[in-house]
Every structure is written in structure tokens, then in C-alpha cells.
Structure 1
Amino acid sequence: MTTNRNSVESRASRGQDGAIAVIGLSCRLPMALGPADFWQLLRTGTDAITDAPPGRWDTAAPEDTPGVRRGGFLDGIGEFDAGFFGISPREAAAMDPQQRMVLELAWEALEDAGVLPASLRDSRTAVFVGTLRDDYASLAGQYGEQVITQHSMTGLNRGVIANRVSYYLGLRGPSLTVDAAQSSSLVAVHLACESLRSGESTTAIAAGINLNILGESAVTEERFGGLSPDGTAYTFDARANGFVRGEGGGAVILKPLDQAVADGDRVYGVIRASAVNNDGATPGLTVPSREAQRQVLREAYEKAGISPSDVQYVELHGTGTPVGDPIEAAALGDVFSAHRAPGDPLLVGSAKTNVGHLEGAAGMVGLLKALLSLTHREIPASLNFETPNPAIDLDGLGLAVPRELTAWPHPDRPLVAGVSSFGMGGTNAHVVLTEAPATDPAAGGASGDASEPAAGDARPLLPWILSGRDTDALRAQAGKLSTFAATSEATPADIGWSLLTTRTTFDERAVVLADGKDAFLAGLDSLAEGAPGTGVVTGNIRDGRAAFLFTGQGAQRAGMAQELYASFPAFAAAFDEVA
């Protein structure tokens, strides 16, 4: 069966009004502190599963319990810059680290989207966060009433994970924490998209978070029978024997596609549709339903106006369990196999083989992987796959598991992907993604404006403006920018524009003036080290208002501002108007 680009685009266009653009990403995952790190981990086939960090579970999860001490872990989950968010040390100590991390993820995703957080204040921006754990509350409970403070009620309440973001940013849209077990974060994305489509909100922050703080939680899952005894996720493989725990979180910034295009936003991918249902009555509370999974898939693609024949990749729920994997594979085969030509299997894989099962945040991890795969036009390998599970007839179902980094099967067609996430109580979610639409570089909006001055790189000097809450933060920003700029293909003018227009300015500030990338990097490195540097000016802003001083006394000279006039059209136009 063949498909042409026009047929896909015409079907997708029927749902254009409901298309949702993903304009910003952030994540904290094992061995990956951001989307760029996560993509590098995925494309290189890195396995981030390790033993639990020393001291994480000193009194629980005995060493001889199979699989309990293996997982994908973060370092320093207790670290938090409370002052940045205006939170006192006492209140920060009472806050679930999941609250703290979601604050950070939301801020970083907005920065990635080029959205000034202050510009959203009092707007109908929504916050939906998926999670299922409250380990920190359980841990605090072990110490009795002596640790209860005036901040404990808000600090330990799961609902406040979302509400804290809305409070800090001053957002007026819906704000709720979603618990649908393991499908929580993808259900949160679904609810965020529905809120945008209905007009209830104008922008949405969707996130997922999962931190494995309490050893007893791992023991509970082992005694349930869900964990892999050898601490390895064998998704769709004959060795599949359970899942491996993971921790971390991620966030996306969502906006109606038409608005994102009009605003000139960078688009990572487009959510064409999503669907959610429940298994209903099955042989057991945690036994998945092939029929329900089949229904949620069909509903999602019907809503998207996209034929299953056009889908090239599905990011699986793919936990690596002996019961769940065959049911998921069968449901996919029911929906996709009849629409595919011989020799054109649907590629499927699972990020759980890289970073573990993030449970309430698992769907967000799958969404991020699919979006990065669309953006980079590559599909990473699904790890630990050698021999198909004998209960999964991959050929008969029209499925294939990539064992190495591969190109999309049909790069000449619009790229289409799906993401699945299923909860142990039967709540199923599926999201349909397409690649970002082609944009006109000459169009207006942020992207067009950023590169508008054709001679930007030919100017004698350009400013890069940085700021932080304090000196240490400012130096850290300089170090991060130096690392980025050293490998980025962005021009100095584009970077300068983004720093000026898409970053919040704090009181501790610096300007690096330079005439080329090497000079900028030298200035940034000096700033990061706290050393004097050529073209580096630092200071603290006590009053944000601007002041101008006209000295008189003959300070003017012939040709004054001539270079400025020749280099900056805005200055030249203003000068001509005055003249």
C-alpha cells in the first residue's frame, strides 16, 4: 500500500483547528539533565540503569531482594535554589522534592519555548501535572509530629505540585495534579490539549514527575511481582520478566498550532489528537484489555484524521512484563497490520529500556522521545532486544523493533508517530504526533525577527546580555551559555536577540561585547570564572528605570555615532526622524 504526502496532509488538515503545537521542552532524567542530553543518550543507545545511589535507602530495600536496588536514578534530588523562587529555606525543606522539580521544569520549558514567564501573569495558562507518588509525605510521617511545621500541609499535598507552578507564575487557567497511575502524565497532556481546544486556556504547561525516595515503595512493587529480578527491561523480548524503576520528570509547553505559527514559535511537533479510556472489567484489576487498547488507538487516529497506514513509529508503553507486552503488541497489530504493505512494518520501541519506568511520568518520557525523534528525523534503538517474545508474532502483527539508530522508514512523507501509556488500573492514553509544519523564514514572529538584520554578523560589536539572582547564578549562566554557544550553529546575532527578548532579567547583570564567536566565548569564560575580561561589563541593578545624561561641555565630536548609524537601522531611523 502506498501513501503520498498530499493524502496525509489533507487528512490531517481536517483536524487543523484542533492541532496543538509543542513549543518548549524540559527534562531531568537519569544521565540526562535536559532534552539535548536525553537525545544524546537515546541516539547512542546508552543504558542509564544503575544501582541506587549510596544512602538513598539505608533502612529499606534489603540487598538480597531481586531487582529492588536497580533503576534509573537522579543525583542530588534534594538540591533546590529556593531563593530563585522566593521560597524560604524552612518552607523548601517541608516541600516534596517533586514540587520543587516541577517548578524548575516549568521554568526551563518556558525558557526553551522563548516565553517570558512574566508575560503569562494573569493569563489563562493551564498547568496539568501527572504523578502517582507521595514518598516524601510517607518519609516525613516516619518521623512523627516533630517534623510537622506550618508548611507541611501545602508542602506534602500532591495537588499543590501543579498549584505551586500556577501560584509562582501567576497563572489563572486550570491547575491540577492528575493521578491515573502509570498513565498519569500522558493523561495530563490529553487534558491540557482538550483545555486548549475548548478555549478554556490559551497556553498550557503539561508535566510529569516521579521520584523514588522511599525504599518501601520499591519493596511494594517487588512483592506485587512487577519488578525485573535482574534489573533490566526486556521490552518485547523473550527474556521479559518485569519492569525497572526510573525517576525524574519532564515538561512541555503547548499552544494551538495556528497561534504558534502566527507568533513565530519554534515547533518541535504537533499533537493532532489524543484519546483516553479505561479497560473496564478484565480478569483482574491490573490485567490489561486488548480490546480497550485497540479502541483508544482507533479513536485517537480517527480524531486526528490520520490513517494507521501513515504512522511510522509508536513509542510503546512497553514495560517489559510477560503479560502486558503481548497484549499491547496484539492491540497494535489489530489496528495497524491490516493497513500496511508487506515489508513495511510499524517500528516500535520503549525509552524504558534506557532510563527505566518513570511510572506517573512515563508517558511524558515517551512523548519527549517521540518529539525529539521527529525533530532529529531519527529513531533510536530500543535496548535489550534480541529474540522476540514467543507470545508476540512481530511479523504477523506487522511490527518491528529497531536494534540500532535508524532513519524514519519514509522520510519523503510527513513523519507521524504515536505515544502510548497505560495505567495499572486500566486507564489508557494515546497521543498522535506529526512533524512540525514547514515555515517561511521570512514570516513575522520571533523566528523572523531574530534573523531580520541581514548584516547582523558583519556588525563591529554585538551585546550578549546575561543576568542572575546573584553573582554565582550569573557566573553559572555564563558557563552554560559558553557550552551552548561553542557547538551551536546559531549566529551571534540570533543568540543576542534571544538573550534580549526571551530571558527574564534579574538584578545581577552582565553584558559581553564582542565582534565574533571566539571573542564571545572568551568573554563568557572570563565571566564564568569571575575574572576581568575584554568587553565584559558587570553590575547590579538597584533601579530598573533608564536614565540618560547629556553632558554638554563640548563632549560631542565630529562623526559621533556614525558607526552606530551605519550598523543599526533602528538607530538610523530614529536619528533621521529627530534630524
Structure 2
Amino acid sequence: MANDKHAPRPVTAPIAVIGMGCRLPGDVDSPSAFWRLLVEERDAVGPPPPGRETGGEPAVGGPSALRGGYLADVSGFDADFFGVAGREADVLDPQHRLLLEVVWEALEHAGLPPDRLAGSPTGVFTGLSYHDYMDQLAGKPRELEGSILTNGHCVAAGRISYLLGLHGPSIALDTACSSSLVAFHLACEALHRQECDLALAAGVTLMLAPRITRSFERMGMLSPTGRCHTFDAAADGFVRGEGCGAVVLKRLPDARRDGDRILAVVRGSAVNQDGRSDGLAAPSAEAQQALYRAALTRAGVDPARVSLIEAHGTGTPLGDPVEFASLAAVYGHGLSPCALGSVKTNLGHLEPAAGITGLIKTVLCLGHGTIPANLHFTEWNPAIAADGSRLFVPRESAPWPGREPVRLAAVSSFGFSGTNAHVILQEPPPARRTGLPAPRRPRQAPPEVILLGAGSHRALPEAAGKLAAWLDAEGATVPLRDVAHTLALRRSPGRGRLAVVARSHAETAEALRLFVDGLPAPALVSSAADVTAPRLPVWVFSGQGSQWAGMGRELL
């Protein structure tokens, strides 16, 4: 951590973000896909998919009010893989299904095989709000009534702990739109208090029934133009979105000790409440400013050093000016520019999952040293006094602003419950060097054994295709030895398995593509594992002294 004699002394010890997973609008199924959506300036808001319209009742605000950030498919689920029995799987809330999948992916992204965490003090903290699926089950056969218990919010977190055999705290919470960032804060606090050694923080929401959308319509909160125009003069309300995000957290010294890839560092966080304001759902400028200052104090960070703020930024005529004024009062002074962003302009407002989505975006920005454009911004809302402030809205992707020696960013999330959360993040520390001379490379690289596991044998072709694409692109600069090491040591073997013997990225990718096409590949073998068989031993196909390289910036 860089020294800063002008910064206040931190109250909390730093936490490392070591893994992330997400399923978001725009066909986003991984952090790397999320980053591509951001830098390509894609707007994932559109009409609802077939079967998820308003159920025949016309929308109050017309067709634009139905626009949102939707997932293409919310029905697919491998119940057998996750150990969910047939009758329970038939009525399991898709939000719970999505949480299971994305948390599993986040753990694998962290290089922590989920099936090896049993018995560990790992905490689970999830944010979610709605019961759309329960509304759909109303009036169904009486034998489905037990789903009322298995689909409770508490089970969303408990099922993850049960599946993986985790013994840390397991908490589901609902503070409306701030739910997932409050869950993130509680996960960090549990790590600080030694209640767990690893923590999972997640948020999920799906729009499965029209009731909530109609309520927002009638309250005048949705945009009639079908866009989140955050901080813009055209701000006229928000657009709903859906999806899931999860992050894996560990105390920074522990992450360094264990050789984990560190994606970002959590310097500090805070949660507070608006209390008595102009209305139950009305924002409080005083509470927001107090929240920012509390988080900055806990982080030991001078606000003038923060160069990116992922705002709550819903694009409402009332909320945007209040939020900007609060940010300007705390963060607006200094010589270096500070960008304001809101991922809601790309995806819509994911409500209970909004905070964790904004946090994942911010971690990606810190790692890449780039700030993507904020969509749908042309001119400042006339109620916003932006002159004289260092805060600006980026209209195109650009390198990190300012010349601070360490990149710092902040993330906000406010709930219409009045509960607010704010997090201070720092770029990952540089990789430690051993001081040993690099080993002399042989003229011809020795062959490596690349192991790939999938949830089932049917899923192997898709997994093989993704790995081949990654090796051709982001993974091209990662030594093949490190790829082999990571897949062997830091991945679950799965029930579908294949192995490739190759000397180069190109050889590996070609063998994988042949497998995808159903053609023979002499250097490749695949099999379906018996789920009752004992787990295979861990094989590490990397040379002496080789450390896990984190599979480059992203894996799959």
C-alpha cells in the first residue's frame, strides 16, 4: 500500500477482492464480457423477452415503460449438479438458481474450487428483494405449497452454505436498491471481526411478473423514454434491469499469503440511514455526505485523491441533483479531475443487485486503468451546479484521469428504504517479485497437460469453446504452464472432463475446437465422471517455482 502523509489514518484493515462472477443484460456471462460491453459502449436496454410482458394488462406509461435490461434466459438450471431434488427444482425461484450459478463462477474465477471449501469458515451475504416467482406459483396445485418455505429469502443464502458445506455467517438481506452493497459491507465487516476467513457477497433480481413494474409506473418513477439519463437534462426516471453479481473477498494479508490474484483492494466502507427526510423514499443530502465521510475516514483516504465515483445515478429529476450536490460537497474539491459514472445507463437499474454490479464495474475500471463512457449524457441537468467542481461525466472511454500514484475509486448505492452504502476501492497492488533470476527457457517448450472440467459431459463443448477463444485473445500472453497450473489446481474437476497435451496456445486451442466440432484430436481425451466416485487427486503441471499467474486478467 502506498504511503500518504496527508491522508487520515485508516480505521479498517484492507480487504482483497479475489474473484467475481456476473450474469447481466447484453449476454454478459463473465467479468470479461462485462468489460467488453462497457468499452464498446453498448446499451443493453430493450423490450421484454417473449413470455415476460405485462400479462395482457396495458402499461400505464406506454410501451417505453416496459423497456428494461433483461436476461435472455432465466429458466435453464442443472438441478442435479447443484444437488437440488426434482420436486424442489420444479418450484425453485430462478433468483436462487442464478445465485447458485454465479457464486460458483465467482469462486472458480478466484481460483478456489468450490467443492474444496466444505467445513471452512466462509461467509455468505446476499441481497435480494422481490417475490415475483411466488406470485406466479399462487393458485398452483397444493403439493407446491412447500415452495413458500424453500423460496424464502433466507434460503437464498442458506442454500449456498448448505451446498458447499460452509460454516461462516449466512445472511440474506433486503434494503431495497442498496441491498447488495450493504451485503458487501457486512461481508467486509465479518472478515474484519474474524467471523470468517473467506466471504461471498452477492445480489440478484429478476423481473418475472409485472406487479412491481406497474407499481413503479404508477408512482411516476420509470422513464417514459425508456432510458436512464443519469445527471443529464433529459433525466426523467429510471429503467428497470435484472441480473446477478457476486464477489469473493479475503483479508489482504491472507490473499497475499495464499498467492491469490488480487483484483482490487477494499480500503473502507460505510452504511447509514436517511432517517427523517422529505419523504420515506426521498434522498437526504445530509445523510449522503455523512456516509461518504464515514467511508473515507474508515479507509484513511483523502477525497481529493479519488478519481472515479460509480454513483447511484438512477436518472431521476429529484435524485440526481441531490446526489451530485452531496458528492460535490465531499469530493468536488481538488486539482485532479474525478469521473462520475453509472452502469445503469448501460443495463438499467438492477435495484437490489445494482450495488454489486456497480462495484464489479469499478473493479474492472481499476484493473484496466480505463474509464468507459457514461451513456445518454449530453448536457448537465439544469438543477445541477457543476461549474467549479472537479467532477465530470465521461462521454467516451478514456485513460484513468489525474496523476495520483495509486488509483482510487468509490461506489455508492442508495435504497428507497433510506439505507445507503458507500465503498472505497483501490487498484490491485503490484505482483511481488521473488528476486530470483528467470529460469532459462528451453528452445522447445515441453508439453503441458491442460485439464478442463465442466458440470456435465454435455457442457464440455461449450466450456472447450470458451477456453479456446480465451487462449486466442486475452490468454495469448499468459504462459501455457500457468494456464495448466491454474486449471489443475484452482478449478473443480467437474463431472465432464477433458485433457489436452500440447506445447503451445495454438495447439491447445486447435484441439479444443476439434472437440467442439466432434472431430478426433489425437492429443485430447474426454470422459464423464461417476458422481459417486472419489474426487481425483490434484495434479499440477507446472515447473518448479512456478506460481499461479491468475490466468491473465480474466478467465472465460
TM-score (norm 2): 0.91
Write the deviation string for residues 409-454 of structure 1: whole angstroms up to 9, x where unpaired. Answer: 12552001000000002111100001111121438xxxx9xx9976
**Which runs of no fewer than 5 residues in structure 2 stay unpaired?**
546-556
Q: Please state whether the residue corresponding to 1:417 is helix, strand or coil.
A: strand
The 8 Å contact of residues 271 and 433 in structure 1, kept in 2 or not, is answered as: yes
Structure 2 counterpart of 1:51, from 30, 42, 47: 47
Higher helix share: 1
Distance across 2 between alignment mates of 1:523 and 1:180: 49
| Cα offset, 1:529, TM superposition | 2.7
Q: Please state whether the residue corresponding to 1:314 is helix, strand or coil.
A: strand
Q: Look up the match of 1:204.
A: 199
Q: Look up the match of 2:446.
A: 460
Structure 2 counterpart of 1:348, from 340, 359, 375: 340
Distance 1:397 1:475, change over 3 A: same
Which amino acid in 1 is paired with 2:113? L
| Cα offset, 1:5, TM superposition | 6.3
Distance across 2 between alignment mates of 1:84 and 1:490: 31
TM-score (norm 1): 0.88
Name the stretch that deviates more: 56-65 or 25-34.
Answer: 56-65
Distance 1:237 1:516, change over 3 A: same
Q: Look up the match of 1:513.
A: 501
Distance across 2 between alignment mates of 1:506 and 1:400: 47
| Cα offset, 1:396, TM superposition | 3.4
Which amino acid in 2 is paired with 1:381? A
Structure 1 counterpart of 2:457, from 461, 466, 471: 471
Distance across 2 between alignment mates of 1:109 and 1:294: 32
Q: Look up the match of 1:268.
A: 263
| Cα offset, 1:405, TM superposition | 0.4
| Cα offset, 1:469, TM superposition | 4.2
| Cα offset, 1:349, TM superposition | 1.2
Q: Look up the match of 1:124.
A: 121
Distance across 2 between alignment mates of 1:525 and 1:428: 48
Any residues of structure 2 matched to 1:399-548 within 5 Å, and which?
Answer: 399-442=391-434, 455=441, 458-487=444-473, 488=475, 489-541=477-529, 543-544=533-534
Write the deviation string for residues 130-155 of structure 1: whole angstroms up to 9, x where unpaired. Answer: 111111111211xx151642751343
Distance 1:362 1:409, change over 3 A: same
The 8 Å contact of residues 61 and 218 in structure 1, kept in 2 or not, is answered as: no
1:245 aligns with 2:231: no
1:365 aligns with 2:357: yes
Distance across 2 between alignment mates of 1:318 and 1:329: 9
Write the deviation string for residues 469-513 of structure 1: whole angstroms up to 9, x where unpaired. Answer: 432122222122111111112121111111110111134432111
1:134 aligns with 2:131: yes
Write the deviation string for residues 85-129 of structure 1: whole angstroms up to 9, x where unpaired. Answer: 122333212111000000001100000000111221111100000
Q: Please state whether the residue corresponding to 2:235 is helix, strand or coil.
A: coil
Distance across 1 between alignment mates of 2:442 and 2:11: 36
1:190 aligns with 2:185: yes
Which amino acid in 2 is paired with 1:166? S
Q: Please state whether the residue corresponding to 1:281 is helix, strand or coil.
A: coil
| Cα offset, 1:397, TM superposition | 3.8
| Cα offset, 1:345, TM superposition | 3.5
Write the deviation string for residues 32-65 of structure 1: whole angstroms up to 9, x where unpaired. Answer: 1111111111112111110111221251552563
Distance across 2 between alignment mates of 1:40 and 1:346: 23
Distance 1:169 1:324, change over 3 A: same
Structure 1 counterpart of 2:286, from 274, 278, 291: 291
Aligned residues: 535
Q: Please state whether the residue corresponding to 1:428 is helix, strand or coil.
A: strand
1:215 aligns with 2:210: yes
> Identity of paired residues, percent?
43
Write the deviation string for residues 326-365 of structure 1: whole angstroms up to 9, x where unpaired. Answer: 110111111123x413xx3321110000000000011011
Structure 2 counterpart of 1:104, from 101, 104, 115: 101
Q: Look up the match of 2:148.
A: 153
The 8 Å contact of residues 21 and 260 in structure 1, kept in 2 or not, is answered as: yes
Q: Look up the match of 1:392.
A: 384
Q: Please state whether the residue corresponding to 1:36 is helix, strand or coil.
A: helix
The 8 Å contact of residues 18 and 263 in structure 2, kept in 1 or not, is answered as: yes
Distance 1:218 1:124, change over 3 A: same
Which amino acid in 1 is paired with 2:468? S
Distance across 2 between alignment mates of 1:498 and 1:301: 36
The 8 Å contact of residues 481 and 543 in structure 2, kept in 1 or not, is answered as: no
The 8 Å contact of residues 245 and 356 in structure 1, kept in 2 or not, is answered as: yes
Distance 1:386 1:148, change over 3 A: farther
